[in-house]
Amino acid sequence: MKTNTMSYKCRQFAMFAGVTTVVFAAVVIVPFLYGLYLTFTSWDGVSKDKPFVGLLNYASTFGDAAYWQALGRTFIYSAIAVILVNVVAFVLAFLVTSGVKGQNFFRAGFFIPNLIGGIVLGYIWKFVFNRAFVALGNALSIGFLSTSWLATTGGAMLCLIIVSVWQYAGYMMLIYVAGFMSVSADVLEAAQIDGCTNMQTLVHISVPLMASSFVQCLFLTVTRCFMVYDVNLSLTNGEPFNSSVMAAMHVYNQAFTYKNYGTGQAEALILFIVCAVVGVLQVYVGKKAEVSA
Amino acid sequence: MNMNEKAARAKKINHAIKIAILIVLFVCFIFPFILVVINVFKVKADITTNPLALIGEHGFTMQNFPEAMKKMDFWRSFANSACITIFSTIFTILLSSMAAFVIVRNKWKACGILFGLMIASMVIPFQVLMIPLVSLYGGILGILNHRATLIFMHVGFSLSMATFMFHGAINTNVPVSLEEAATIDGCTRWSTYWQIVFPLLKPTIATVAIIDAMAFWNDYLLPSLVLAKKELYTIPIATQVFYGTYSTDIGLVMAALLLAMLPILILYVFLQRYIVEGVTSGAVK
């Protein structure tokens, strides 16, 4: 059988990748391009025709103060959450790779929040913040605990950050654990013989050799925090007074609640570009810091 | 010997401190779950007066479970979630591994374009696609509110990541010589794939299955946009709707939250090692 004819190639490709190509195109490529088109229309989600409005949606995006506030809020939230998630995850990874008893048990335990969807996690923490902390505050008469943090504007953001750190730390811990394991014992031993303290070994040997783990964790946390939606919806739902509406939630409301599909899509696109730029920049800077043993 | 004894003691203390820190952190981590578990067995009044007490004044009750189960239609949403998760995972694995095979083994233009597009598409977040998706499938085709539509979309979104992982696995774990031997023995490409290549991909299949199944089971945003009918709800949607209706009936809420977590936690007890390994090897790629 001839294997370099066009018809053979086409049949092989269709046999193995045909369905994949169709499904992938139908769910990702076509909607993406169609989304670009939607940003130039003012579709209301119901009517058959989609009037062409040119750049009007982008103009109204730039005039949408609530959107820029949400985006700024997402920046602040992401910056704090990303740093805290990685600090906590790194400390956890350090502790569960230092040879203590039951470290596999701890690894599995810290990972539990990742098994459960954001919606359920948000409701659980809503109960913790609204009821348990308040009850604790009243019982021990601790002032700052006796009212729910979720009811204050700054507090709601704080709650969101706490839950995100709790949710993602276990997952990032696993990546750092893999990083710690990849540092070879020879190098560590050599450092010990040269008189390094444990701390010096960690800072000067392990951390530089784990640079790729940091790049990966930062990228994952940045993209996840930027696109936070589930926990935002179940924990705060944007309240109080829309002070905790993150960018993704704003986009959702713009499209599906206020029926401004065109503007919503334009805002989603800008959010994506901002997120992609931050993510790529971060990977680029991180890759430069990588060293090899 | 004094020096050695001192060093040994310091090591022991160090070890004890680490374990103490870990235990404290561990308790902090599972504290919310513990709260749910202790409150699920209380009546509403007891939860309101003291959510921290181990047992309420009115004693131990199992009443919350059957009522929450009935009101959130637990078994139906469980069946929906299970059906959607299982079929989406199976289709994702079959389709992406086949595509990865043809992409790795042939330097054709179509393969390069498909793989390039897949890699590029991995940076697109779902929020950018959700509005056109609803517009296309709801407005133009009118096929929302079917489980099959959701499975189709789940598969479409997870294909690129899965293909990428199988691409790496075939590249490193499947020797070309093995396939050549199969060809000489009279296998077609199709039978070579199913009899030689696919069985060699088992570890990657497990990793992809775990990562994707967890993502499908827990996904909320996409299912909530596709499935708007009550009888099609998955567990995350059912929980969200239930909370919206009965948020004041806190005992029922506790039961509903525990029910929503239970299936995956039970699975975790048995498959814990595989899940942790699978997620790690998936993340590191």
Per-block mean pLDDT, blocks of 10 residues, chain B (285 long): 75 85 89 87 77 74 81 88 94 93 87 88 86 85 86 92 90 87 88 89 88 89 88 88 83 86 87 81 66
Nearest chain B residue (CA) to A1: B188
Is B164 touching A (CB cutoff 8 A)? no
Between CA B108 and CA B173 the distance in angstroms is: 22
Q: Please judge whether A96 and B22 are an interchain contact, meaning their C-beta atoms are less than 8 angstroms apart.
A: yes
Which pLDDT score, from 0 to 100, does residue B284 have?
A: 61
Please state the rounded mean pLDDT for residues A113-122.
Answer: 88
The beta-carbon neighbor of A120 closest among B127, B132, B261 is: B261
- Reported as a single tens digit per residue, the pLDDT across A139-162 is 777 777 777 787 788 888 888 999
Cα dihedral: B79, B85, B89, B90 (round 10): 10
Q: What is the distance in angstroms between the Cα of A155 and the nearest Cα belonging to chain B?
A: 18
Q: Do B129 and A166 touch (CB under 8 A)?
A: no
B207 touches chain A (CB under 8 A): no
Beta-carbon contacts of residue A15 (< 8 Å; ≥ 6 apart): B102, B189, B190
Residue pLDDT, tens place only, A239-272: 788 888 888 898 888 888 888 888 888 888 988 8
pLDDT digits (tens, 9 = 90+) for B103-153: 988 888 888 899 999 888 888 888 889 888 888 888 778 788 888 999 999
CA proximity to A222, closest of A92, A86, A32: A86
Q: Residues B254-278: pLDDT tens digits?
A: 888 888 888 888 888 888 888 888 8
Q: Which residues of B touch A113 (CB under 8 A)?
A: 29
Contacts of B51 in chain A (CB under 8 A): 127, 131-132, 135
**Residue A39's pLDDT band (boundaries 50, 70, 90)?**
confident
At A98, is the pLDDT very low, low, confident or very high (cuts 50, 70, 90)? confident
pLDDT at B155: 94
CB contact under 8 A, B102 and A227: no
Q: Among B52, B156, B236, whose Cβ lies nearest the Cβ of A120?
A: B236
Q: CB neighbours (10 Å) of residue B126?
A: 17
How many degrees, rounded to 5, is the angle at CA B94 between CA B92 and CA B96?
Answer: 60
DSSP B261-272: HHHHHHHHHHHH
Question: Are A178 and B15 in contact (CB < 8 Å)?
Answer: no
In angstroms, the separation between the Cα of residue A138 and the nearest Cα of chain B is 10
What pLDDT score does B95 carry?
Answer: 94
Q: Residue B69: its pLDDT value, please? A: 83
Banded model confidence at residue A46, pLDDT cuts 50, 70, 90: low
CB contact under 8 A, B99 and A116: no
Sign of the Cα pseudo-torsion (A234, B126, A36, A223, in order)? positive
Instruction: Dump pLDDT digits (tens) for A63-97.
Output: 888 888 888 999 999 999 999 999 999 999 988 88
Q: How far is CA A15 from CA B95, B102, B190, B214, in A?
A: 10, 9, 8, 29
DSSP H or E segment with residue B156: helix B147-173
Peptide bond into B199 cis (omega under 30): no
pLDDT of residue A118: 86
The whole-angstrom distance between A63's CA and the closest CA on chain B is 20
User: Exposed, middle or buried by CB within 10 Å (0-12, 13-18, 19+), for A102?
Assistant: middle
Size of interface A-B (CB pairs under 8 A): 251
Q: Could you give the percent of chain A with pLDDT greater than 90? A: 14
Whole-angstrom distance, CA of residue A125 vs CA of residue B139? 37
In which band, very low, low, confident or very high, does the pLDDT at A190 lie, cut at 50, 70 and 90? Answer: confident
- Single pTM value for the model: 0.86
